[in-house]
Amino acid sequence: MKKLFLTLVVFSFAVLSKAQSPVSWTFTAKKLADKTYEVHLTATLQTGWHLYSLAQPNDAVVMPTEIKFNPNPLLTVSGKLSEKGKMEKFHDEKLGISANQYAEKVDFIQVIKLKAKAKTNLAGTVEFQTCDDKKCLPPKKVNFTITII
């Protein structure tokens, strides 16, 4: 009976976590110059939810957002991944923790360069965690593919 109860609790949590998706992603590319593009990985969050920055303070307990690009012999990643949005620097004195977080919307931007004039794709993953003022959801990984023309 104890195993059945535990199984039901775990299953319920898994179903609720899957059903609850407070962030939606869009993935786009914008041509800057000949063979140079800016890719945008944009997160839009439901009211009350936060997504975490790529860089976190030393006393953070949340998982920073991590973006990985799959290797592609037709293109190179140029420069550092940047973030555009209104960053909130959260700090809880009682718990002694901090976080760099975004509400509403954040745009992760990366410049890429094509090695030759050819249609290709930039693919990868975004791994992130979202929290509100009561709970944090388990980290989630989203695959993406952006067409580069």
> How far is 73 from 114, CA to CA, in rounded Å?
9
4: in domain: no
- So what's the pLDDT on residue 141? 97
Q: Which domain holds residue 143?
A: 22-148
Contact 105, 43 (CB under 8 A): yes
- So what's the pLDDT on residue 38? 97
Angle CA 135–138–143, to nearest 5? 135
3: in domain: no
Give the pLDDT band (50/70/90) at residue 8.
very low
Number of structural domains (the chain) is: 1
Q: Which two tokens stand for residue 60?
A: 């953070």
133: in domain: yes
Give the pLDDT band (50/70/90) at residue 14.
very low
7: in domain: no
- So what's the pLDDT on residue 48? 95
16: in domain: no
Entry pTM: 0.83
Q: What is the DSSP letter of 115?
A: S
Q: Which two tokens stand for residue 148?
A: 């580069």
> How far is 55 from 19, CA to CA, in rounded Å?
28
95: in domain: yes
5: in domain: no
Higher pLDDT pick, 15 / 111: 111
Residue 15 has pLDDT above 60, yes or no: no
**Mean per-residue pLDDT for 5-21?**
45
Q: What is the CATH number of the domain that holds 126?
A: 2.60.40.1250
Q: Which two tokens stand for residue 67?
A: 């973006």
